[in-house]
Amino acid sequence: MDLVFATHNENKLKEVRLLLPKDIRLISLEEIGCHEEIPETETTLKANAQLKADYITQHYGISCFADDTGLIIDALNGAPGVHSARFAGEEKDSKKNIEKVLFQLKNTTSRTARFKTTIALNLNKERILFEGAVEGTITKEKKGAEGFGYDPIFIPIGYDQTFAQLPIEIKNQISHRGKALQKLIAYLTKDRIY
């Protein structure tokens, strides 16, 4: 089965490819000739994921899935949330996003947070949503060189290392995106509707 993943983020593509079974071939947006930035104008993760999946289905006529992920920090009233990628500006600079979070939390002892991911699947005229979440805390400084986005400042509950320090295999098992993908894979492989 061929399935398009509606993202231009190479790091996400790499993570997802590691999780998918061999009989599902992940196709990038570049492979279908989609080079434009897909709008993310909605106010929830669910709506943004669906918006991106619908964009590909409507413009390219193919089955696909898209995700939207947010880092929700309790001390920041849920920010950056749906604005996680653009928290420090439209250029989607991870380093600046991290710096802004750490600056805003510098005098805060409560550092609880969670990552949430919603995946929207458009397949055979069906639209299905899958969600995953992971609880954790925000560090006071960046730790680790792996991962991407906010990974260097997020420690999942039950671990003493950030997502940027943990091996990718462990991160993929416990992460928000990993959990949502496991649900997507279970759906695709159980129902065999392709």
Distance CA 107, CA 158 (A): 25
Cβ atoms 98, 152 nearer than 8 A:
yes
DSSP H helices, 105-157, are: none
- 68 noted as active-site residue: yes
Catalytic residue among 67, 68, 74, 191: 68
Cβ atoms 114, 135 nearer than 8 A:
yes
Distance CA 25, CA 70 (A): 26
Q: How many CB atoms lie within 10 A of CB 163?
A: 28
Which residue numbers are catalytic?
68
